[in-house]
Amino acid sequence: MTTTPLGPTLARLAPVGLAELVDRAALQTRVDRKYLVPVEALPQLLGRLMPYARVLDIDGERTFRYRSVYFDTPQLVSFHCAAYRRRRRFKVRTRTYLDSAQCWLEVKINGARGSITKHRLPYDPRNCGTVDPGRGFVDEALTLESIGPAAGSSLDPILVTEYHRATLLLPDTASRVTVDTALAWRHGDSMLWLPGLAVVETKSASAPTPVDRILWRAGVRPGRISKYATGLAALRPDLPDAPWRRTLRRHFRSTQSPAGPAPAVSHRPEQEASCV
């Protein structure tokens, strides 16, 4: 497990176990809203959530390390569908929970009116860098969701993301909120870190959550950010970036970000870390 500066604030929230969280707010089909929030503002935000929220607690730990490997076709069909705002688009990834060495193969589909459907398959963490053992599952999910361009095409590992996550349950609205910090991306030999920013994401059936309303009243609006597409656009300036250009200029490419320290970028070779 891991500790973060949010530890004292998270400790003040009532706990919820994983089984209850999944039972009450699995939300495999949902509407997501994402916000970029300065890390220094998180304790105040979480403090205001005490009447509404419970925090995922596993064996006394409340923040957990994640690693995701995103896969795409040689033509980057998944990326370009996002860049050109195709109505139906997809992501294929493995997600490894580093503290428990559990891994899932996931296919996410963005549909009409912002809805998101996720298909998940338990996966051997030793295979987190390839979709080959689960290729039948991926193709079945893409075909079921009428996503044709990727079915049958090769899918290669393109981008690796890592972060620390705390997950909140809002029982009154059966919704979830995730708070991701220590954000890092790797594409080939290039690395990007955003130590001063957090991604706060609300996940609900449709209606805004109390977190959305608190952030709106504070003047924080949902932002255009995708861990895969925005991260890849930040590390590949040759790619189209229109949907995330404001986010990239303000948070990813500025020399003095108003949300915290400037992003750290490295183009030095990095040793591929194990997923387990």
- Residue 227 has what pLDDT? 94
| Alpha-carbon gap, residue 152 to 135, rounded angstroms | 9
Smallest CA-to-CA distance from 81 within 247, 226, 252, 235 is with 226
Strands (E), the chain: 14-16, 29-38, 54-56, 64-72, 89-97, 102-110, 115-123, 156-170, 175-187, 190-194, 197-204, 264-266
Residues 205 and 28 sit within 8 Å (Cβ to Cβ): no
What value does the mean pLDDT take over residues 148-172? 87
Smallest CA-to-CA distance from 199 within 227, 171, 174, 173 is with 227
- Residue 7 has what pLDDT? 87
Residues 46 and 13 sit within 8 Å (Cβ to Cβ): yes
Helix (H, G, I), strand (E, B) or coil at 211: helix
Scan for tokens 């449709």, then name that residue.
Answer: 206
pLDDT over threshold 50, residue 161: yes
What value does the mean pLDDT take over residues 206-216? 88
Q: Which residue has the higher pLDDT, 146 or 238?
A: 238
What value does the mean pLDDT take over residues 135-142? 92
Residue ranges of domains in the chain: 7-266
| Alpha-carbon gap, residue 254 to 275, rounded angstroms | 31
Helix (H, G, I), strand (E, B) or coil at 144: helix
| Alpha-carbon gap, residue 185 to 231, rounded angstroms | 6
* Residue 27: pLDDT band with limits 50, 70, 90: low
- Residue 151 has what pLDDT? 58
- Residue 149 has what pLDDT? 56
| Alpha-carbon gap, residue 196 to 204, rounded angstroms | 26
- Residue 255 has what pLDDT? 35
Q: Which of 6-10, 87-91, 191-195, 270-274 has the highest mean pLDDT?
A: 191-195
CATH number for 7-266: choose from 2.30.40.10, 3.40.50.620, 2.40.320.10, 1.20.1250.20.
2.40.320.10
pLDDT over threshold 80, residue 263: no
* Residue 114: pLDDT band with limits 50, 70, 90: low
Tokens of 38: 């300065």
- Residue 272 has what pLDDT? 34
pLDDT over threshold 70, residue 265: no
For the chain, the helix, strand and coil percentages under 3-state DSSP, each to the nearest 5: 30, 35, 35
What value does the mean pLDDT take over residues 23-37? 78
How many other C-beta atoms are found inside a 10 Å radius of the C-beta of residue 24? 16
pLDDT over threshold 50, residue 133: yes
| Alpha-carbon gap, residue 86 to 143, rounded angstroms | 17
pLDDT over threshold 80, residue 220: yes
- Residue 185 has what pLDDT? 97
Q: Which amino acid is at 8?
A: P
Tokens of 231: 């991260």
What value does the mean pLDDT take over residues 250-272? 51
- Residue 94 has what pLDDT? 98
Helix (H, G, I), strand (E, B) or coil at 80: helix
pLDDT tens string 168-180: 999 888 889 999 9
- Residue 93 has what pLDDT? 98
What value does the mean pLDDT take over residues 191-218? 90
